[in-house]
Amino acid sequence: KAGVTQTPRYLIKTRGQQVTLSCSPISGHRSVSWYQQTPGQGLQFLFEYFSETQRNKGNFPGRFSGRQFSNSRSEMNVSTLELGDSALYLCASSLGTGGKETQYFGPGTRLLVL
């Protein structure tokens, strides 16, 4: 099976712009989670989607949003970009949701905000 894919892999934006990142889960996986990775804060949970519903949300401002489509693909959007949003954004998929599932990660989208 193909692994989790994320597009684009690299992105450069300026402050105030918005950005949309895409994640395609492993075939058959219905849960998608998003994480932000920065040198200062490490890996932090953004949100989790299952069956097109947001199940869980981390401690991020409302500028960060996401959605999931009926084919389980997910997008996350960041509006009014700030310099501090520069990070590696990771997507992970799992068969279902919950603590019994193993999450498999994509390669990430590296976002640079100038």
Partner 1 sequence: AQRVTQPEKLLSVFKGAPVELKCNYSYSGSPELFWYVQYSRQRLQLLLRHISRESIKGFTADLNKGETSFHLKKPFAQEEDSAMYYCALIDRGSTLGRLYFGRGTQLTVWP
Is the CB of residue 60 less than 8 Å from the CB of residue 11? no
Considering only 16-24, 63-71, 78-86, 98-106, which stretch makes contact with partner 1 by CB under 8 A? Answer: 98-106
Q: Contact between 22 and partner 1 (CB under 8 A)?
A: no
* Amino acid at the residue 14: T
Q: Contact between 1 and partner 1 (CB under 8 A)?
A: no
Q: Which of 26, 108, 109, 111 binds partner 1 (CB under 8 A)?
A: 108
Query: Rounded CA gap, 100 and 67, in Å?
Result: 23
Q: Contact between 90 and partner 1 (CB under 8 A)?
A: yes
Q: Give how many residues touch partner 1 by CB under 8 A.
A: 29
| Tokens, residue 62 | 């409302």
* Residue spans of alpha helices (H) in the chain: none
Q: Contact between 31 and partner 1 (CB under 8 A)?
A: yes
